[in-house]
Amino acid sequence: MKNVFKKMILAVSAAALVFAAFPATSAFAADENPPIAGDVSSEKLERIWARQLHKYERLGKAFEDTDAHIAKIQERIDKAAEKGKDVTELQAALDAYEAALIAAQPTYESIGSIVSSHAGFDANGKVTDAEQARSTVEQMRTKMQEIKSAMGGTFKALREAWKAFRKANKPAEPNSDRDS
């Protein structure tokens, strides 16, 4: 019995040595021209540019007619105040949002010049010059970050204030006596 046990241990050890001799993963040769750090393909630049244009268009809804946009929200707040609702938090959130929109307006307008020149991209958003395209994408990213910083989360705060207002002023649920 001891011999069988010793032979089994010897066989397992031999198998372990055989498997240890072969690597578990494969190795592949590197490209002749490895990508430079920070090097981005034309396809990736085109996808980034398309996303940035989409964000710019969405921002335009708030910036293009700021007065009407704010007036529409103010009208809703005024109607709630007429009904005797407490709108102080909503009004404060709207005032902060309006101030942030006004402060970020020049930055938004400067993005318009980047979009209209679209250096490095053709009219269809395809890369024509990779270096210029990379520079354009970086400029756009910087301006978008400036807008985000100038807005300071005021839109999100306004949206959260509306949620809290609706929750606090939720109409009472009617009786469901007719279900029985």
Residue 150, pLDDT score: 93
Which amino acid makes up residue 167?
K
pLDDT tens-digit series, residues 79-103: 999 999 999 999 999 999 999 999 9
SS3 content of the chain, % helix, strand, coil (to 5): 70, 0, 25
pTM above 0.95, yes or no: no
Low-confidence spans in the chain with pLDDT less than 70? 1-39, 172-180
What per-residue confidence (pLDDT) applies to 32?
Answer: 41
Residue 38 has what pLDDT? 53
- Residue 30: predicted pLDDT: 45
CA atoms of 120 and 17, how far apart (whole Å): 57
